[in-house]
Amino acid sequence: MKKWLIVLCSTLLIAGCSNPESASETKNKDTHSLKKVSVVLDWTPNTNHTGLYVAKEKGYFKEEGLDVDIIMPGDAGADQLVASGKSEFGVSYQESITQARIQDVPLVSIAAIIQHNTSGFASPAAKNIVTPKDFVGKTYGGWGSPVEKSVISSLMNKENADVNKVSIVNMGDTDFFTAVKRDIDFAWIYYGWTGVESELRGEKLNMIYLTEYSDKLDYYTPVLATNENMINENPDTVKAFVKAVSKGYEFAINNPSDAADILIKTVPDLDPKLVKKSQEWLASKYQDDAPRWGEQKQEVWENYASWMFDNGLLEKQLDAQKAFTNNFLPQ
C-alpha cells in the first residue's frame, strides 16, 4: 500500500487589509484585499480542470473574496500538499482519499468533478483487445499502484481469466501513444482526454470501461479535496471556493466552446483542437444525472471502499461519512 509522507506545516492564509475604497476600487477589487489560497492540480492542465480556470478567468473567485493560484503538483503530489496544509485545495481521486483516510490522513472530498467514472483500459484496435480475457499474454503499462493489478484481476475474473498471465510494467510519464507503439499493449486512460485525442489522430482504440463490469468501480475520479483543518477552522473559505468552482463548471457545462477557449488562452501549450473536442465530450459528463454539479453519494464511497477492502487494498473498512461532504455545495 502507498505510504504517506506528511510534512507538518501550518496553513498560510493571507488576508490583506485596505483603506476605504472608492466606487471604482470597490468594483475592481484589488487582489491585496482578497484571501490568498491555492489549488494544486493532479496532473498537467486538461479539461478535467476547466472549471477552475473558468472561475479564475471570469472573476468568480474574486466575487467570493478569493485570490486563487492554480499550481502544478511537482514531486510531492497534490494529496500530500493538501494534507500537510501547503495547499488549501487540490484535485484528487476517491481511491487516493480512501487510502489516505485509512492511514489517518485527514483529506476530505468536497466535490465530484465528474459524476461517473469515465476511465477504462484502452488499446489500439489492431491489438484485438476487446474484453478482459484478451489481456492474457499482453503487457499493461501503468504507474506502479497496487490497485491497478487488482482492477485488472477483478475484470478478468468475470471471464475466468488469470491476471498472472498479464505482464505489468511501469510506463512512468511516457505518452500513451508512444508507449503502445513501443512496449505495451494497453493502459488505463480517461477517454475524455486520451480517447478523444485518439479520434483526432485517427487512431482507433478499443475501450474497456470499468463501469461495464462492476458498479463498485463507478467511483468519483477526479474530485476536489481539502483537509479537515480547513473545514474546521476556515469553513467560509471552503464554501466560497466551492461556490466559485461550481459556477466555473456550470459555465463549462452550458458553454463548452467558450470554456475551452478560456483553457486554451490560459494554457497556450495545449492543443486547441484537443481541448475543444474534449470539452465538448465532457460537458454532459460533469454533472450527468446528479441534481447539481459536485454532488456525491455515500453509497458510491462505501461501494468502492468495500471493493478495495475485499481486494486487500485497505487494512480496514472506511468510515465513508468522514471521507466526503456535500455541505459546501451551493443549494
For residues 79-98, average pLDDT: 96
Q: pTM for the whole thing?
A: 0.88
Give the pLDDT of residue 173. Answer: 83
pLDDT digits (tens, 9 = 90+) for 287-318: 999 999 999 999 999 999 999 999 999 999 99
- Phi–psi pair at 284, nearest 5 degrees: -85, -10
Give the mean pLDDT of 239-268.
98
Report pLDDT for 126. Answer: 96
**252 contacts 194 by C-beta, under 8 angstroms:** no
Q: Which of 112, 38, 45 is nearest to 260 (CA)?
A: 45
217 or 21, which is more confident: 217
Does residue 21 register a pLDDT over 80? no
Structural domains in the chain plus CATH codes = 35-115+219-322 (3.40.190.10), 119-217 (3.40.190.10)
More confident residue, 145 or 283: 283
Average pLDDT of the residues of the chain: 91
Is there a contact between 210 and 120 (Cβ–Cβ < 8 Å)? yes
Confidence of residue 11 (pLDDT cuts 50, 70, 90): very low
Q: What is the model's pLDDT at position 32? A: 67
Does residue 254 carry a pLDDT above 80?
yes
Residues paired with 120 in a beta bridge: 189, 209
Compute the average pLDDT of residues 244-265. 98
Amino acid, single-letter form, for residue 281: W
- Residue 14, pLDDT score: 27
The residue to which cell 467511483 is assigned: 219
pLDDT (average), residues 17-32: 43
Residue range 120-179, pLDDT digits in tens: 999 999 999 999 999 999 999 999 888 999 999 999 999 999 999 999 999 988 999 999
pLDDT of residue 13: 29
pLDDT band at 75 (very low <50, low <70, confident <90, very high): confident
pLDDT score recorded for residue 76: 82
Q: Which of 184, 206, 188, 192 is nearest to 95 (CA)?
A: 188
H or E, element range at 78: helix 78-83
Is residue 45 a contact partner of residue 263, using CB atoms and an 8 Å limit? Answer: yes
Other Cβ atoms less than 10 A from the Cβ of 265: the count is 12
Cell numbers at 27, concatenated: 468594483
pLDDT at 30: 57
SS3 81: helix
